[in-house]
C-alpha cells in the first residue's frame, strides 16, 4: 500500500488549515529535540553538512538551521506544501537568512537525490516506516551515492522482533505491517538493505523513541 504522504491533495489541505505539524505526526518539540540530541551524540558539529530526507515541515530542520553554520542544512520531501510551511512558518526571519529556500527540494526519495554534493550526515527519521522494503532499498541506494567515507546515515525503523511477515504491535498500541503503512522490517532485512547499498548497519539502542522506532546508523564499510 502506498504511503499516505503520496496523497498530496490531502497533505495540501491539512497544510492549508495550518496543520503542518499534525500531518507529519505531531510530537513536534519532543521528537525534534530527541533527533537533534541524537545527532549531537553522533558528534554533529556546526560546520558539518546535513541532508534531511523526508524533512516534512522542518520539525528537525528548524532546530538544525539554528545550530548549523549558514547554508549547511538541506532537506527533501514529497510535498512542496510541507516545505513551504516549514520555511515560512517555522523559521524566523533570522533563520531564513541562514537558509536559502533552494536548499529545500520537493523530491521522491526513491529517485536519485537532487543534490550533487556529498554530506557529512544524512538523516531519515520516520521515513522508512512509511515505505515498502522495495522502496526502502531504492532510497538507501540513492542516499549512499551522496555519502563519503566518513558520512553517517541515521535512520529509524519499526522493527519486527520475529517473523516480519505478520503484524506487530509496537509501543502505544501502534500496529505495523510488512505490506502496508506503517511498515516494519526485521533486523536481518535492515542489515541486508544496508549491505546492498555498500553500507554497514549498526543498531543504536541508547535512544528511546516515543513511538518505539529503532535508530540505526549506517556508514561505509
Q: What would the mean pLDDT of 12-41 be, rounded to a whole number?
A: 90
Q: Does residue 206 register a pLDDT over 90?
A: no
Structure confidence at residue 207 (pLDDT): 57
Residue 133 CA from chain centroid, whole number: 16
Structure confidence at residue 198 (pLDDT): 97
User: How is residue 148 annotated by DSSP?
Assistant: E
Q: What would the mean pLDDT of 36-61 be, rounded to a whole number?
A: 97
Instruction: With CA atoms as reference, report the closest residue to 213 among 180, 182, 178, 167.
Output: 182
Q: Where are the domains of the chain?
A: 4-220
Structure confidence at residue 71 (pLDDT): 98
Q: Which pLDDT band holds residue 217 (cuts at 50, 70, 90)? A: very high
- Summarize pLDDT for 120-157 with one digit per residue, the tens: 999 999 999 999 999 999 999 999 999 999 999 999 99
Q: Which pLDDT band holds residue 171 (cuts at 50, 70, 90)? A: confident
Write down the architecture of domain 4-220 according to CATH: 3-Layer(aba) Sandwich (3.40)
Retrieve residue 124's grid coordinates: 531519515
Q: For 6-33, give the DSSP string.
A: G-HHHHHHHHHTT-HHHHTTS-HHHHHH
Sequence-distant (6+) residues with CB within 8 A of 178 are: 133, 160, 164, 165, 166, 184
Q: Does residue 1 register a pLDDT over 60?
A: no
Amino acid at each position: 500500500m502506498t504511503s499516505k504522504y503520496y496523497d498530496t491533495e490531502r497533505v495540501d489541505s491539512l497544510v492549508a488549515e495550518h496543520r503542518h505539524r499534525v500531518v507529519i505526526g505531531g510530537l513536534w518539540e519532543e521528537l525534534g529535540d530527541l533527533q537533534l540530541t541524537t545527532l549531537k551524540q553522533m558528534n554533529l558539529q556546526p560546520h558539518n553538512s546535513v541532508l534531511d530526507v523526508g524533512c516534512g515541515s522542518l520539525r528537525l530542520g528548524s532546530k538544525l538551521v539554528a545550530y548549523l553554520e549558514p547554508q549547511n542544512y538541506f532537506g527533501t520531501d514529497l510535498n512542496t506544501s510541507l516545505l513551504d510551511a516549514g520555511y515560512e512558518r517555522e523559521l524566523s526571519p533570522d533563520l531564513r537568512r541562514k537558509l536559502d529556500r533552494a536548499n529545500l527540494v520537493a523530491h521522491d526519495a526513491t529517485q536519485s537525490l537532487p543534490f550533487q554534493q556529498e554530506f557529512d550526515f544524512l538523516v531519515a527519521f520516520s521515513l522508512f516506516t512509511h515505505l515498502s522494503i522495495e522502496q526502502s532499498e531504492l532510497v538507501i541506494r540513492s542516499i549512499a551515492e551522496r555519502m563519503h567515507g566518513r558520512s553517517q546515515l541515521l535512520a529509524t525503523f519499526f522493527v519486527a522482533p520475529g517473523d516480519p511477515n505478520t503484524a506487530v504491535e509496537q509501543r502505544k498500541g501502534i500496529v505495523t505491517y510488512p505490506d502496508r503503512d506503517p511498515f516494519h522490517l526485521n533486523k536481518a532485512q535492515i542489515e541486508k538493505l544496508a549491505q546492498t547499498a555498500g553500507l554497514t548497519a549498526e543498531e543504536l539502542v541508547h535512544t528511546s523513541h516515543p513511538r518505539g522506532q529503532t535508530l540505526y546508523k549506517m556508514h561505509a564499510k
